[in-house]
Structure 1
Amino acid sequence: MNWLPLLSAVLLYQGGAPTTPVDVGNRAQLFIDRRLVHQAPGVSFTLHPAKKHPANPLIRSGPDAASRVYLCGSVLYDEDENLFKMWYLGCNGELYATSRDGLRWENSKTCWTGFMFAAVWKDRDDPDPARRYKVIAWGPNAKGAKNTGYDPPIDTGYNTYVSPDGLQVTVHSREPICPHGDVIGGYYDRRLRLYVAFPKIMTQAMGFNRRCFYVTTSKDFDSWNPPQPAFVPDERDDAGSLARIEEARPILDVPDVAAYRRTEFYGVGVYQAESCTVAFPWLFTINGARRPGPQEGPGEVQLAVSCDLERWERPFRSPAIPRGKPGEWDCGFFETAAEAFRVGDEIRLYYSCTNHGHGHEKRAGGPAPDHVYGVGLATWQLDRFVSADAPAGGGVLATVPLVFDGRRLEFNARTRPGGKIRVTLCDLAGSPLAGWPTSEDVCGDSLRHTVVFGGRGDLETLARKPLTLRIELVDAELFSFAFR
Structure 2
Amino acid sequence: MVGALAAPGTEYERPVPLADWTGTRLVANAGFEASPSAVSQWEVTATGGSAAVTTSPVHGGANALRVTDTASDDGVSVRSGRLAVVPGETLTAHAFAQRVDQTAGSLYLEYWRPDGSRIDEAVVSTNVTSATGWQALTVGAVAPDDAVTATVLVYSAQAALGTTVWDDVTLDSAPPPARRVPNSSFEDLHDTPLPSPWAVSGSGTAQLVTSPVHTGNRALRMVDNNADAGETALAKAIPVTGGETLTATAWYQISSGLTGSLYLEYRKADGSSPDTYKTSVNVTSGTGWRKLTVSKVAPSDATSVTLRLYSALTTTGTTVWDDVTIRSTADARYAEAVGTGSVLFVGDQRVESYTGMTRQVVRGTPKGDPALTDGATGVVLGGGTWDANPRFGGAVLRDPDGTYRMWYNSAAGTGLATSTDGVKWTRYGTGPVSGHGPSGIAENPRYDPSNASSMRFYTLYPKNGLYYAMASRDGITWADLNGGNSVLPGFDVANVSWDPTNGGRFAALTKQYPTGSPYGARTVYTSFSTDFVHWTAPRFALAPDAFDHEKVVARYPSRPAASSEIYGMAGMRYGEQFIGVPWMFDVHERPNALGNPGDDVGRAHLELTASQDLLNWSRPARDAIVTEPAQSAWNWGFQVGGSSLLTVGDEVRYYYGSFAGEHGCDATDVPSLCAKAMGNSKIALLTWKRDRFEAFRAGSGGGSVTTRTLAPTGTRVTVNANLGSSGQLRVALLDSAGNPVSGYAAADATPVTGDTLGTVVSWGGRTTIPTTGGPFRLQFQLTSGDLYSYSIS
Distance 1:211 1:300 in 2: 14
Counterpart of 2:731?
Answer: 423
Matching of residues 141-220 of structure 1 within 5 Å: 147=464, 157-173=466-482, 175-192=485-502, 193-202=504-513, 209-220=520-531
Structure 1 residues 412, 354: CA separation in 2 closer, same or farther (over 3 Å shift)? Answer: same
Alignment: residue pair count:
453
Residues 334 and 354 in structure 1, CA contact (< 8 A), matched pair in contact too: yes
Matched, 1:77 2:398: yes
Distance 2:383 2:689 in 1: 29
Distance 2:359 2:772 in 1: 28
Distance 1:3 1:340 in 2: 39
Matched, 1:450 2:760: yes
Distance 2:452 2:425 in 1: 27
SS in 2 for 1:209: coil
User: What code does the residue aligned with 2:545 have?
Assistant: D
User: What code does the residue aligned with 1:102 have?
Assistant: G
Distance 2:365 2:501 in 1: 27
Distance 1:84 1:221 in 2: 24
SS in 2 for 1:316: coil
Post-superposition offset of 1:372 = 4.3
SS in 1 for 2:355: coil
Post-superposition offset of 1:424 = 1.9
Distance 2:418 2:270 in 1: 39
Matched, 1:229 2:530: no
User: What code does the residue aligned with 1:45 have?
Assistant: R
Residues 230 and 311 in structure 1, CA contact (< 8 A), matched pair in contact too: yes
Matched, 1:377 2:678: no
Matched, 1:107 2:427: yes
Post-superposition offset of 1:93 = 1.7
Matching of residues 38-53 of structure 1 within 5 Å: 38-53=352-367
Q: Encode CA deviations 1:389-438: one digit per residue, 9 max, x unaligned.
A: 21231112222222222232100111022211102222222222223352
Residues 457 and 473 in structure 2, CA contact (< 8 A), matched pair in contact too: no
Distance 2:717 2:405 in 1: 36
Residues 244 and 285 in structure 1, CA contact (< 8 A), matched pair in contact too: no
Matched, 1:259 2:560: yes
Q: Encode CA deviations 1:197-253: one digit per residue, 9 max, x unaligned.
A: 01112259xx8722222110113333211101122232222111134559xxxxxxx
Post-superposition offset of 1:369 = 10
Post-superposition offset of 1:86 = 1.0
Post-superposition offset of 1:297 = 1.0
Counterpart of 2:414?
Answer: 94
The range that moved more, 275-284 or 352-361, is: 352-361
Distance 2:509 2:677 in 1: 34
Post-superposition offset of 1:370 = 11
Counterpart of 1:359?
Answer: 664
Identity %: 25
Distance 1:7 1:266 in 2: 25
Post-superposition offset of 1:316 = 2.2
Distance 1:212 1:363 in 2: 29
Residues 560 and 588 in structure 2, CA contact (< 8 A), matched pair in contact too: no
Post-superposition offset of 1:260 = 2.4
Structure 1 residues 66, 283: CA separation in 2 closer, same or farther (over 3 Å shift)? Answer: same
The range that moved more, 211-220 or 114-123, is: 114-123
Post-superposition offset of 1:184 = 0.9
Residues 440 and 643 in structure 2, CA contact (< 8 A), matched pair in contact too: yes
Counterpart of 1:28?
Answer: 342
SS in 2 for 1:340: strand
Counterpart of 2:618?
Answer: 313
Counterpart of 1:253?
Answer: none
Q: Encode CA deviations 1:77-115: one digit per residue, 9 max, x unaligned.
A: 112x42111111111222111111111111344334541
Residues 583 and 639 in structure 2, CA contact (< 8 A), matched pair in contact too: yes
Picking from 291, 295, 305, the partner of 2:600 is 295
Q: Encode CA deviations 1:289-333: one digit per residue, 9 max, x unaligned.
A: 568982221111111111011211222222122231110111111
Counterpart of 1:471?
Answer: 780
Residues 466 and 486 in structure 2, CA contact (< 8 A), matched pair in contact too: yes
Residues 203 and 212 in structure 1, CA contact (< 8 A), matched pair in contact too: no
SS in 2 for 1:338: strand
Structure 1 residues 182, 370: CA separation in 2 closer, same or farther (over 3 Å shift)? Answer: closer
Residues 443 and 497 in structure 2, CA contact (< 8 A), matched pair in contact too: no
Q: Encode CA deviations 1:250-279: one digit per residue, 9 max, x unaligned.
A: xxxxxx6x3322222211123311111010
Mark the runs of 5 or more structure 2 residues left unpaired by the alignment. Answer: 1-267, 273-302, 308-324, 369-374
Residues 401 and 428 in structure 1, CA contact (< 8 A), matched pair in contact too: yes
Residues 405 and 464 in structure 1, CA contact (< 8 A), matched pair in contact too: no
Counterpart of 2:447?
Answer: 126
Distance 2:552 2:357 in 1: 29
Counterpart of 2:581?
Answer: 280
Residues 74 and 337 in structure 1, CA contact (< 8 A), matched pair in contact too: yes
Counterpart of 1:37?
Answer: 351
The range that moved more, 278-287 or 312-321, is: 312-321
Distance 2:366 2:514 in 1: 34
Counterpart of 2:169?
Answer: none
SS in 1 for 2:486: coil
User: What code does the residue aligned with 1:414 have?
Assistant: N
Distance 2:678 2:523 in 1: 31
Post-superposition offset of 1:441 = 0.7
Q: Encode CA deviations 1:126-155: one digit per residue, 9 max, x unaligned.
A: 333443323222244xxxxxx4xxxxxxxx
SS in 2 for 1:58: strand
Distance 1:196 1:118 in 2: 12
Residues 111 and 167 in structure 1, CA contact (< 8 A), matched pair in contact too: no
Distance 1:218 1:13 in 2: 24
Residues 657 and 683 in structure 2, CA contact (< 8 A), matched pair in contact too: yes
User: What code does the residue aligned with 1:59 have?
Assistant: L
Structure of higher RCO (CA pairs closer than 8 Å, 6+ residues apart):
1
Post-superposition offset of 1:170 = 1.7
Residues 120 and 133 in structure 1, CA contact (< 8 A), matched pair in contact too: no
Distance 1:390 1:381 in 2: 20
Matched, 1:392 2:700: yes
User: What code does the residue aligned with 1:200 have?
Assistant: K
Mark the runs of 5 or more structure 1 residues left unpaired by the alignment. Answer: 141-146, 148-155, 247-255
SS in 1 for 2:346: coil
Residues 13 and 311 in structure 1, CA contact (< 8 A), matched pair in contact too: no
Residues 442 and 459 in structure 2, CA contact (< 8 A), matched pair in contact too: no
Distance 1:303 1:436 in 2: 33
Residues 214 and 228 in structure 1, CA contact (< 8 A), matched pair in contact too: yes
Structure 1 residues 243, 130: CA separation in 2 closer, same or farther (over 3 Å shift)? Answer: farther
Distance 2:402 2:550 in 1: 46
**Structure exhibiting the larger radius of gyration computed from Cα positions:** 2
